[in-house]
Structure 1
Amino acid sequence: MLDYLDGLAQATSLERVWALHCDAMAGFGFDRLIYGYTRFGKPGALGDFEDAVFLSNHDAEYFNRFISQRMFLEAPILRWARDNTGACGWGALWGDPDSLTEGERRVVAFNRSMNVTAGYSISFPVPGPRSFGLISMSARPGLSQADVDVIWSRHGRSIEAMNNMAHLKIISLPQTPVRGRLSARQREVLEWVGDGKSNRDIALILGVSLPTVEKHLRLAREKLGVATTAQAVLKASFLNQIYLGSQNLTVL
C-alpha cells in the first residue's frame, strides 16, 4: 500500500490518479469502477451534471447508458448512499427484489445484462449538505457476490481506506468545467477579484485596459455557467481552478 500512497501523493492530474487507482483495485478483483462527485447538489437532487466529476474505466456503451443517459439516478446504491457513508456490498441491495422500486429493478437487470453482477460501493464522507461522492466497484467476470464478500472480509478496510485517499486526492486537483478550461489570464483575474480588487485595480495591476479585464471576467462566467463574477470566483475555487489568497503569499 505504501507504493500506492506514494504514487497518489506524487500524482498531479486526475488521469494519473485514476489510472493508479484502477490498477490498485484490479489487484483486489475489482476491474471496473465508476466514481462520481459534486459540490453543487440541491435539496433532494444531485444538481447540474455538468458541475459533477465522473470517472470510469467501464466500456463506452456501459458508461453512456448508465451515466450519460442518467440510468444511475435509479440505482439502488444511490438511494442507499444518500443516507449512508461507508461501504456496502451489492448483495445487501439486490438480494431482495421485492424491496426495489420498478426503476431500481430495471437498473439491476441492465447491470446483469452487462455482466455487472457483483461488487461493492463506497459512499464518501462529505463536508456539507450540497456535496456527494460515491464509487462503485464491479468485480471481474466470474466472481460471485459471495466471492467478493470473502475478498472484502480479508481486505475491506484497506480497500476502503485506499478509496477514501483517492477521493481526497481527486477533489484536491483542478477540475475542468464542461464548457471549457479557464485561461491563465481568466484565472488570474478571478484571483484578483477574490482578493478584493476592483476591475480598475486589476487593469492597473496587470497593465491592461478595463474592457480587457471585463472581457476576461465575462468569458470566465460563461465557461463556469454562472451569472455573476462573485459566483464565478466561488465556483472556480470549488473546482480548484483558482486559489484564493495566492496573490498575497510571501515566501520567507
Structure 2
Amino acid sequence: MNTLQIDLFTGLNDADSMQDVLDVALKVIKPMGFDYCGWQSQLPLPLTRPRLASLTTVEDEVDSKISSGAYLDSPLIRHCSSTTTPLLWKGTTDDETFLQDPALMEEYYSFNHRGGWAQSVFGRVGTFSLFHADSINTFTRQDLQNSSRDMQWVAMAVLGRMNQIRERSDIKLSLREQEILRWTGDGKTVEQISSILSISASTINFHLRNAMMKLDAPNKTAAVVRAIFLGLLY
C-alpha cells in the first residue's frame, strides 16, 4: 500500500463516528486540492418528499440546502443515483456536468464550491450513498484524472466505514415489528396493515409504538427510515 492508503485506513480504523470518518478523509484529500468533503444518502421510500441524509466537513449554505432537499434533482444526485462511475467536474462555466443547469452552477460558485469529485455505492432496497469532495478552486480535467485513482480508494473506504458505523446497533426489533414497519414503508395505513395481517388496528399501533420507542423515533415514518438505515428491515 502507498502512503495515502496507509494514512487513510489507519485513520478510518480509529474513527468512531461518521464525522470522524469525514475528518480523516479531508486530511487525506487536501493535498490533492480539495477543501471540503461530505457524505449523502437517500432512501427511495414512498414518501411525499424524499430527503437526503447528509454530513459534511463544513456547515454552509450548500450543506443547508442539501439537508433541506433542495438539490435532489441536481446533476450530482442524478448521476450518483444511477451509476457508480465517478463524477468529475472542473468548476468552470463550460463544464459539461453543470451545462444543463447553469443556475445551479452559479449558485455553487456563490457559495465558494467549484471543482469537485463524487462517487456512490448502492445498498439494500435501492438505497445509495455517495462521497463527494469539493474545492474552492477550479480544476483542469487532467488534474481530476490524475487524482481519480486515489479518490476512488478514498470514496470506497469512506463509504464502507460509514456503512459500518451507521449499521452498528444493538437495537432488536421483533419479527412483527419488522413486518409492520415494512408495510408502513410501503405506504400502507394502519387499517390497511390490519387487514393484510388479519390483526386488529390496536395491535398494529401497539407494535408501532414499541418500534418507535426502540428506535427513538418521533413518528412511524422516522421509525421506518431509521430501521432501514440500521439494516433492521431487509
Shorter-chain TM-score range: 0.5 to 0.7
- The reply on whether 1:117 has 2:117 as its aligned counterpart is no
> Offset at 1:126?
0.9
Name the residue aligned to 1:41. Answer: 44
- Letter paired with 2:94: G
Q: Is the 8 A contact 1:32 1:137 kept in 2?
A: yes
Confirm or deny that 1:130 pairs with 2:129: no
Q: What TM-score do you get using the length of structure 2 for normalisation? A: 0.67
Aligned residues between the structures? 201
In 1: Cα distance, 2:98 partner to 2:12 partner? 39
Q: 1:4 to 1:90 in 2, by over 3 A?
A: same
Question: Unaligned stretches of 5+ in structure 2?
Answer: 178-205
Letter in structure 1 aligned against 2:102: R
- 2:32 counterpart SS class: coil
Map of 1:16 onto structure 2: 20
Q: For 2:71 and 2:53, locate their aligned partners in 1 and report how far apart those are by CA, in whole Å.
A: 14
Contact kept in structure 2, 1:75 and 1:108, CA below 8 Å: no
Q: Which has the larger radius of gyration?
A: 1
Q: Is the 8 A contact 2:62 2:111 kept in 1?
A: yes
CA contact (8 A) 1:175 1:241 kept: yes
Task: State the superposition RMSD in angstroms.
Answer: 3.9
| Map 1:220-239 → 2, pairs under 5 A | 220=214, 223=217, 225-226=219-220, 238-239=228-229
Structure 2: distance between partners of 1:79 and 1:236? 23
Note the C-alpha offset of 1:94. 5.8
The answer as to whether partners of 2:115 and 2:134 remain within 8 angstroms in 1 is yes
User: Could you say which residue in structure 2 is the equivalent of 1:59?
Assistant: 59
Any gaps of 5 or more consecutive residues in structure 1? Answer: 177-181, 197-212, 245-252
Q: CA deviation at 1:194?
A: 4.6
The answer to whether the Cα contact below 8 Å between 1:74 and 1:107 also exists between their aligned partners in 2 is: no
- State the TM-score, normalized to the length of structure 1: 0.63
2:9 paired residue number: 5
Q: Structure 1 pair 242/21, CA: closer, same or farther in 2 (3 Å)?
A: same
Identity of aligned residues (%): 14
